[in-house]
Amino acid sequence: MICERCSAGGDLSDVWTVGMGSSSLAYNPSFWDDDGQQHDHDINYHSQDYRCSNGHSWTFRHRLGCPAPGCSHEAVMESVFHDDYLDTEGIVR
Ligand SMILES: [Zn+2]
Ligand SMILES: [Zn+2]
């Protein structure tokens, strides 16, 4: 894990995990489509908070993709920076 903010700015930083991480625990059925193709649609997001030595903090979350070719249920891997979250919520100054 590297800090995307620091790497975008060419800075170096150490990264720590924050807390234990979490995952949602929804039931996750497999099914077969009319071509007999097996689908596995993971709807459980796994997330972990991180912070870096330059003061950035973010949540990394991921979800597995479906192994069936051409299926639109793709893997998700994303870092959500917490100050981005605050920006979209709007801060009253
Ligand atoms: Zn950083
Ligand atoms: Zn699928």
Ligand nearest to the CA of 32: 2
Give the pLDDT confidence score for residue 92 in this predicted structure. Answer: 47
Amino acid letter at 30?
S
Distance CA 31, CA 27 (A): 13
Whole-prediction pTM:
0.71
Ligand nearest to the CA of 3: 1
Distance CA 63, CA 69 (A): 17
Phi, psi of 82 (to 5 degrees): -70, -30
Q: What distances in angstroms separate CA 77 from CA 46, 63, 71, 72, one per listed residue?
A: 10, 7, 17, 15
Give the pLDDT confidence score for residue 26 in this predicted structure. Answer: 78
Ligand nearest to the CA of 41: 2
Hey, which residues does 14 pair with through a beta bridge? none
Distance (Å) from CA 4 to ligand 1 centroid: 7
Average pLDDT, 10 consecutive residues per value, the chain (93 residues): 95 95 82 95 91 95 93 94 63 46
